[in-house]
Structure formats: structure tokens, C-alpha cells
């Protein structure tokens, strides 16, 4: 398997936060979903990959010599000057990217039903996000790095955008790193999940492996003492019960056959891991 992005021993220190010794391979031909709560280090990681910030130590290798040409970017706080229209932006980008394809850009604008002569300030949030994606794709990158590309969008627009990402990844030489709080989107389209918490890499595996292996064991207060502490990753105490995050769900179903062990969502795994205790 070819690695499109290789991150080795990455560290970045701030006064109140540290991205700690991140080792991560992001492979070609797959969508890698990046999850974690606000402030966990996701944006710091993305900005390090893009050389927007200087990291303190470690190494990041990206396949291809010209990062600017190979990477399409959509950031959560990205914006275009509001007095410009889509045509203006296309003309500017033509001078920025050697590989800019105006015909492809026009096709995306048409597919996205974006008017070319109206100022960006008249666009809805969904229209602006589609414009950002059109720009990101129209210089024919092989890597897409996306930070909250569907945040605040209605379900119909979100589905349209997810379909675009799935089309992009049909080329096995292409790669997507997608950071989002909308984990249901990742359950639909991601191949890998990378979970960062408090600056550290907690989990990096195939999405299906994670969802098939983890479980949430539900017990009442009296039965909590019957659970082997070695089986507990983290637990969350409710008013009358406990939700316990475990691994090897099918195996533990036999061990704790009188209790319920549910298949979790990515949201549930993340919430119990972050908010739970050991």
C-alpha cells in the first residue's frame, strides 16, 4: 500500500497545548476521517501538513514534489473576498496553479448550480462551501485535505458533497484527509478513522474494524462491580447505570452473556473515551 502522507514523530508546542509525537500514515486510494473534540489537535495537525505553521520536530513527507499543485484544500475558516464572483475567482486561480483547468472549474460550477456573475457575499453557506470545493478540485490535485467541509450544511447539500468526495476517491491514486465533527458522514464514506485526543493519537484503524471490535457494555450500578477492570477501556456513569467502552465485543458477549453489549457509533466511542473515566 502506497502512503500518500507520512508523518513521523510530529511535535508542536504552544503555551497551553502540545501535539505529541504523532506517527501516522495516510494511504493512497482511501478516505481517512480525522476525529476529536475541539482543541484536540486536529487543526494543528492539518496546518502542519500544509506548512501553514512551523512544527517543532518530526517529519512530514508528501508524495510528489510540488505540494501546492498536488493538494486541494478546504479549511473551516476559508473565505473568498465577498465582492468577487465565481468568474473572478477562476481567473485569479488560473494564475496561481499551473494545472488549473478552467473548463473543469466551469463544469463544477454548473454541476453545483452556482451562478458565475453574482458576488460571493450573496451566496449561502452551502453555496460558498461548494465554491471552495470547486476551487480545490479544479487544479486536479491528488490529495484533498478538508477541515469541516460539511459543517452547518443541510443533509441534502451534505450528501451532494459526500458524493463528490466518493467520486474523487474512485481514482486509487487519490487521497482524502477529512476532519469533521459530523461522525455520521464518516460512517458513510470513510475507510480509516484517526482519533486524536488532547494532542495524542488515540486510535488509527480501518473504520469497519473499529465499529466491529468496540462495544458499549451496559450494566446497572449493582452489576458494575462484576465487570473485570481489565476489560474496561473507559466508562461513563449515568444516573442509574454505567456505559462501559470495551474491545473484542463478540468475545465479551460470551463472557458477560447476561448483559447487553451494543455496537457503538463513532460518536459514542469518542464521547465515552473523552468524557469517561478509567
Task: State pLDDT tens for residues 57-103.
Answer: 999 988 755 566 789 999 877 778 999 999 999 999 999 999 999 99
Strands 143-147 and 175-179: parallel
**pLDDT reading at 1 higher than 60:** no
Residue 3's pLDDT band, with cuts at 50, 70 and 90, is low
Sequence ranges of the domains in the chain = 3-210, 214-275
- Dmax over CA atoms of the chain, in Å, equals 68
| CA 120 from centre of chain | 26
Phi first, then psi, for residue 235 (nearest 5°) are -135, 155
3-210: CATH architecture: 3-Layer(aba) Sandwich (3.40)
**pLDDT reading at 110 higher than 90:** yes
* Average pLDDT along the chain: 92
For residue 139, the tally of other CB atoms under 10 A from its CB is 21
For residue 26, the tally of other CB atoms under 10 A from its CB is 23
Q: What is the pLDDT of residue 278?
A: 84
Per-residue pLDDT reduced to its tens digit, 131-147: 999 999 999 999 999 99
For residue 23, the tally of other CB atoms under 10 A from its CB is 12
DSSP letter for 256, please: T
Per-residue pLDDT reduced to its tens digit, 243-253: 999 999 999 99
CA angle, 263 as apex, 261 and 264 as ends, to 5°? 110
**Mean pLDDT, residues 161-171:** 93
Strand partners, 245: 216, 234
| CA 228 from centre of chain | 34
Q: What is the pLDDT of residue 68?
A: 63
Amino acid at each position: 500500500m502506497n502512503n500518500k502522507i507520512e508523518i513521523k514523530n510530529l511535535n508542536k508546542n504552544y503555551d497551553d497545548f502540545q501535539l505529541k509525537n504523532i506517527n501516522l500514515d495516510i494511504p493512497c486510494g482511501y478516505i481517512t476521517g480525522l476525529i476529536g473534540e475541539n482543541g484536540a489537535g486536529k487543526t494543528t495537525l492539518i496546518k502542519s501538513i500544509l506548512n501553514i505553521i512551523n512544527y517543532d520536530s518530526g517529519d512530514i513527507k508528501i508524495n510528489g514534489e510540488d505540494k501546492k499543485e498536488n493538494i486541494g484544500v478546504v479549511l473551516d475558516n476559508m473565505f473568498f473576498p465577498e465582492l468577487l464572483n465565481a468568474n473572478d475567482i477562476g481567473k485569479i486561480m488560473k494564475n496561481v496553479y499551473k494545472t488549473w483547468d478552467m473548463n473543469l472549474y466551469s463544469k463544477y460550477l454548473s454541476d453545483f448550480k452556482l451562478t458565475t456573475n453574482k458576488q460571493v457575499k450573496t451566496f449561502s453557506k452551502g453555496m460558498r462551501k461548494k465554491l471552495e470545493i470547486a476551487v480545490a478540485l479544479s487544479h486536479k490535485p491528488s490529495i484533498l485535505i478538508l477541515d469541516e467541509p460539511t459543517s452547518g450544511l443541510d443533509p441534502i447539500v451534505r450528501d451532494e458533497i459526500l458524493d463528490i468526495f466518493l467520486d474523487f476517491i474512485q481514482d486509487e491514486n487519490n487521497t482524502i484527509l477529512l476532519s469533521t465533527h459530523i461522525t455520521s458522514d464518516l460512517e458513510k464514506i470513510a475507510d480509516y478513522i484517526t482519533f486524536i485526543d488532547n494532542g495524542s493519537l488515540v486510535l488509527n484503524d480501518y473504520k469497519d474494524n473499529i465499529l466491529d471490535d468496540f462495544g458499549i457494555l451496559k450494566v446497572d450500578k449493582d452489576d458494575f462491580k462484576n465487570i473485570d477492570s481489565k476489560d474496561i477501556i473507559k466508562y461513563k456513569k449515568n444516573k442509574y447505570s454505567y456505559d462501559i467502552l470495551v474491545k473484542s465485543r463478540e468475545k465479551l458477549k460470551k463472557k458477560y452473556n447476561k448483559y447487553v453489549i451494543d455496537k457503538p457509533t463513532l460518536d459514542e466511542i469518542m464521547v465515552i473515551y473523552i468524557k469517561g473515566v478509567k
